Amino acid sequence: MNHNTPAPLSPRPLRHLVESQRRVMSAGQLKAHGVTAAAAQEQCRAGGPWQRLLPGVFLLHPGPPTSEERLHAVLLYAGRTPGARHAAGGVPAQPAGRTPGPPTPPCADALVTGLAALALHGFVSAPPLPSLGHIDVLVPRTRRLRSTEFARLVRATGLPDPVQLSGVPVAPVPRALADAIGQLTEAGAVRRLLTEAVRGGHCEPAAVVRELTLARLLTRPHVVDAVDSLLAEGRAIAEDRLYAMVREYGLPDPLWNVDLRLPGGPHLGGVDAFWPDQAVAVELDTRTPRPDEPDVFSAYVRKREHLERLGISVVHLTPRKLRESLEQQAVVVRTALMAAVDRDPAAYVVVLPR
């Protein structure tokens, strides 16, 4: 041996792996600790101390895996972490001859999604993690890997920014919902998930519908019915917050949920709140574009422009603004009411109950 050639690492006792905090490791990570593929397979023999959970992923104890261990196994299998797999493009975690560094956590190029992600987000209507036969994991569309055993791959052109929950990279709620609903055929389960998403404040209806549209799920009748319930739920919650804003911040009482029209003229549209003396209207933007309603947005814009040409100031409020900054939205409405004295008088309109 040349004196300049470093001596190869001697295999370390396997006890240090079992006693570590890492109970799930990939073949590449084991190799970085001096454990060959053959030695890993030997540990997984019948009655042995280890188990093979997924291709190239090992559980370093003989009992059943916990939910956390299954999650980490799926991420090690699907991610491009150094040494995550001994095949399909896996690379060694450390060059030969170097002392292994600290363990590398799973990369965010694989995210837990679907029902498992919703369980991690705290959805009570999602099955608990131990009961799931599959764990969905979101990966780039170009990934050369197949679903296997309890790892089910969901491919995407681009991955969303992960949410870190319990040390696990998880898809945001709207994307996780779309991936979960894509696997569900029972209308009641779909409706329960969507209702909890909105009622529990996890996300806005518009964000969910965007993801369902991208996933081409709004062609399924049971999904469309559930989305209609979702939108009604979202509007009811937003209206309650609007009532609370007027009450809690001392705004003048408006006329609630009215239609406006010109005397003897055309219908101008409905608004959620209207102060006739100040000619100020509030409109909740719970509008959610749907594939079967391409002209909804254009009609909405035309209505708003028509009201403003008549001298009616329209304040736009979204459910998210009402949820996250209620006091600030009250200031916006109060400012519009105070500014009425400096504006030209508005056209006379007829106000009718809606």
- Is there a single domain that holds both residue 331 and residue 258? yes
Tokens of 178: 């779309």
Point out the least confidently predicted range of 4-13, 53-62, 104-113, 157-166: 4-13
Is residue 101 pLDDT above 50, yes or no? Answer: no
Confidence band of 164 (pLDDT split at 50, 70, 90): very high
pLDDT at residue 3, rounded to an integer: 47
Could you tell me if residue 3 is inside a domain?
Answer: no
CA dihedral 270, 272, 273, 274 (to 10 degrees): -10
Comparing CA positions, the residue from 237, 116, 130 lying closest to residue 175 is 116
- Rounded to an integer, the average pLDDT of 191-203 is 90
Last residue in a domain, options 79, 103, 127:
103
Indicate the residue type of 234. G
Q: Does residue 114 sit in the same domain as residue 199?
A: yes
- With cut-offs at 50, 70 and 90, classify the pLDDT of residue 22: low
- How confident is the model over 25-45, as a mean pLDDT? 86
Q: Which of 210, 105, 218 is nearest to 160 (CA)?
A: 210
User: Looking at this protein, which amino acid is placed at residue 112?
Assistant: V
21 and 85 in a single domain? The answer is yes
1 located within any domain: no
39 in any annotated domain: yes
Average pLDDT for 75-92: 53
Q: Write down which residue in 191, 223, 248 finishes a domain.
A: 248
**Looking at the 3D structure of the chain, how many domains does it have?**
3
Q: What is the pLDDT of residue 43?
A: 87
- Mean pLDDT of all residues in 94-102: 37
The pLDDT of residue 298 is above 80: no
Same domain, yes or no: 121 and 93: no
Q: With 60 as the cut, is the pLDDT of residue 24 above it?
A: yes
Percent of the chain scoring above 70 in pLDDT: 82
Residue 341 token pair: 């004295």
| Residue 324 pLDDT greater than 80, yes or no | yes
**Residue 2 lies inside a defined structural domain of this protein:** no
Residue 14 lies in a domain: yes
Verify that 260 and 239 share a domain, yes or no. no
Tell me which of 57, 75, 103 is where a domain ends: 103
Buried b (16+ CB within 10 A) or exposed e, 164-197: eeeebbbbbbbbbbbbbbbebeeeebbbbbbbbb
Q: Are residues 214 and 184 in the same domain?
A: yes
Task: Look at 191 and 286; give whichever has higher pLDDT.
Answer: 191
Q: Which domain holds residue 66?
A: 8-103
SS3 (DSSP) at 75:
helix
Residue 89 binned pLDDT confidence (cut-offs 50, 70, 90): very low
